[in-house]
Amino acid sequence: GQICQCEKPETCDRFLGPTEKCTCKKGFFNPPYCEPVTVPRIVFFGNERVNPGQTTLFNCTVAAFPTPYENDISLKGPSQKQINLISSNTLDKYLYTRINIFQVKYVMNGEWYTCAVQAVAGSGQMTIIADVYELPRLNTP
């Protein structure tokens, strides 16, 4: 038989396994099957390279079981920046993965941005410097 991962052992039948009354122990999810949760991992974080002062898109992609929700993933930047979530999707090809796309206006060179995730099995974050083109400078003699 299988090991009962229900909070109360009496909610597991010796022969049939977990019953409908099962609530999973800490660290398990999806009653009555109670599969182990996994800590979220940021599998990709970057932005579309633009000229300084232009609008860019940041992609923050997170994998975890259970799949993170839209609100589990956030983008933090310089305090005055307006950051908008413009799309959030799960990826069919990669199970338990969510991609959030954020829009930031007037992105500048040297600005730090952090993708943060807070999910069922824990949290994580990754910080990068915004990727912007370096504009040419004219040198006068």
- pTM exceeds 0.85, yes or no: no
DSSP string, 17-58: EE-TT--BPTTEESTTT-EEPEEEEEEEEEE--B-TTS-EEE
Confidence at residue 141, expressed as pLDDT on a 0 to 100 scale: 78
Chain segment 29-54, per-residue pLDDT in tens: 888 888 899 999 999 999 999 999 99
Q: Which fold has domain 38-129?
A: Immunoglobulin-like (2.60.40)
Distance CA 132, CA 55 (A): 10
The pLDDT value given to residue 86: 98
Residue 103 has φ and ψ, to the nearest 5°, of -110, 135
Residues of the chain with CATH 2.60.40.10: 38-129
d(CA 112, CA 127): 7
| C-beta separation of 35 from 19 below 8 A | no
